[in-house]
């Protein structure tokens, strides 16, 4: 049984220390240990790449954006010395810091109207779920329990938020109202269930689980019924992201030897490898028009955010920070974000 220690300012279900890869296997148990003598670890980085892979020489730098993707991308970064939530136009312009707090603010996800972001933070002690306006105002905490709540995902109708919590001992998927009320547990087993993502019609939730030894992709109805397994192999498949038309799911797998981005067609079950960077590439997120995917990768050394066409060509660099950018989430409302997020916002 693997145990993950949770030191100060670290979320346990998906954390590794000192930039070493955490490969979840078997029944992962979260153990919370507060250590006053240990400094906060400044990295939240999820990986499924095997520990024994050879070191890869740096690859040529990806070119800056040459096409003009639309919308806005939220992400987490420690570029200012602390993990905070940022937003940037998908064309690389007008980077804005959204949160400003000495605690850890991570895992942003957009409301369907683009007016708010939900994220996780330990600013009040243990990791909880918060909501913030896209101008940085009106932060509200919507969960409050002694467990660890993280990885929120807003439903397409804006009425519900799925999230992961270990409040009952295991990492399970829950759902609640957008105001934090009516919290309900959807999965219930001794394995680890992570990364919930809603289908565009709001009827299904895709997620990753190691309930069958290694991590695979599953989906269930919005009330936790009709569980279906989407992938089946010896590799770890994680980070599901539904395409805007609902026909495909992007995900990350180490089936090629490295953590790369793949896409599965739900009609034909055809799996296509999108990235071939021989590095750790994670957290795929679709553009609103379904023509591009953004993802995080360390293939140039520092963790940054990249955009690629859905046919796997035209890799472009979006962000560049020596301290690392991670967990990109593309806004669902193109027109709104281009009008409203067009200048740096003022931190709260």
Residue ranges of domains in the chain: 72-340
pLDDT higher than 50, residue 91: yes
Lowest mean pLDDT among 33-47, 62-76, 126-140: 33-47
Rounded (5°) CA angle 326-133-45: 15
pLDDT of residue 65: 55
Closest by CA to 166, choosing from 194, 130, 131, 204, is 194
pLDDT band at residue 301 under the 50/70/90 scheme: confident
Mean pLDDT of 292-310: 93
pLDDT of 67 reads: 57
Residues 222 and 20: their CA atoms lie apart, in Å, by: 35
CA distance 343 to 348: 15
| Helical spans, DSSP H, in 120-179 | none
Report yes or no: 28 and 63 within 8 Å, Cβ to Cβ.
no
Instruction: Give CA 223 to chain center in angstroms.
Output: 22
Q: Is the pLDDT of residue 50 over 90?
A: no
For residues 98 and 85, is the Cβ–Cβ distance under 8 A?
A: yes
Only one residue has tokens 């932060």, namely: 139
Sheet order of strands, 316-317 included: 281-286, 292-297, 304-309, 316-317
- pLDDT at position 335, please? 55
Q: Residue range 147-163: average pLDDT?
A: 98
Nearest to 107 by CA among 122, 93, 96: 122
Question: Which two tokens mark 293?
Answer: 């995917």
Give 240's contacts (C-beta < 8 A, 6+ positions apart).
195, 197, 206, 207, 208, 217, 219, 230, 249, 250, 251
Global pTM value? 0.81
pLDDT at 26 over 70: no
Distance of CA 325 to the CA centre of its chain: 12
User: In this structure, what token pair is assigned to residue 174?
Assistant: 């829950």
Is 50 exceeded by the pLDDT of residue 39? no
At 208 the pLDDT is: 98
What number of other Cβ atoms are within 10 A of residue 308's Cβ? 22
310 neighbors 263 (Cβ within 8 angstroms):
yes
CA dihedral 96, 100, 106, 110 (to 10 degrees): -50
Average pLDDT of the residues of the chain: 82
Average pLDDT of the residues in 148-174: 97
Residues across the chain: 348
Cβ atoms of 257 and 249 closer than 8 Å: no
CB atoms within 10 A of CB 112: 18
Secondary element (H or E) of residue 283 = strand 281-286
H/E segment holding residue 334: helix 334-340
Among candidates 326, 314, 323, which has minimal Cα distance to 63? 314
Tell how strand 3-6 and strand 29-32 pair up: parallel
Q: Give tens-digit pLDDT for 253-265.
A: 999 999 999 999 9
CATH fold label, 72-340: Neuraminidase (2.120.10)
Q: What is the mean pLDDT of residues 201-225?
A: 97
């Amino acid at each position: 049984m693997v145990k993950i220690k949770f030191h100060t300012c670290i979320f346990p279900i998906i954390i590794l220390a000192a930039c070493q890869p955490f490969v979840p296997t078997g029944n992962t148990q979260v153990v919370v240990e507060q250590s006053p003598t240990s400094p906060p670890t400044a990295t939240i980085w999820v990986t499924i790449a095997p520990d024994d892979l050879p070191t890869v020489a740096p690859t040529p730098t990806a070119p800056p954006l040459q096409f003009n993707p639309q919308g806005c991308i939220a992400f987490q970064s420690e570029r200012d010395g602390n993990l905070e939530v940022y937003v940037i136009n998908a064309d690389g312009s007008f980077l804005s810091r959204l949160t400003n707090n000495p605690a850890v603010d991570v895992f942003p996800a957009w409301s369907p109207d683009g007016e708010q972001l939900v994220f996780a933070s330990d600013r009040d002690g243990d990791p909880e779920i918060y909501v913030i306006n896209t101008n940085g105002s009106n932060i509200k905490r919507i969960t409050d329990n002694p467990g660890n709540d993280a990885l929120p995902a807003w439903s397409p109708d804006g009425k519900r938020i799925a999230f992961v919590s270990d409040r009952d001992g295991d990492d399970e998927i829950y759902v609640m109202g957008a105001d934090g009320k009516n919290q309900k547990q959807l999965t219930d087993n001794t394995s680890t269930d992570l990364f919930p993502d809603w289908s565009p019609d709001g009827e299904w939730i895709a997620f990753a689980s190691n309930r069958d030894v290694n991590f695979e992709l599953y989906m269930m109805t919005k009330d936790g019924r009709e569980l279906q397994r989407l992938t089946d192999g010896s590799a770890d498949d994680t980070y599901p992201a539904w395409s805007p038309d609902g026909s495909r799911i992007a995900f990350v797998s180490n089936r090629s030897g490295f953590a790369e981005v793949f896409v599965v067609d739900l009609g034909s079950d055809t799996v296509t490898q999108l990235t071939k960077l021989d590095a750790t590439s994670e957290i795929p997120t679709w553009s609103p028009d379904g023509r591009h995917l953004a993802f995080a990768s360390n293939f140039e050394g520092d963790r940054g955010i990249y955009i690629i066409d859905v046919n796997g060509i035209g890799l472009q660099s979006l962000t560049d920070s020596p301290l690392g950018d991670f967990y990109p989430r593309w806004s669902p409302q193109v027109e709104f974000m281009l009008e409203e997020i067009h200048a740096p916002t003022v931190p709260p």
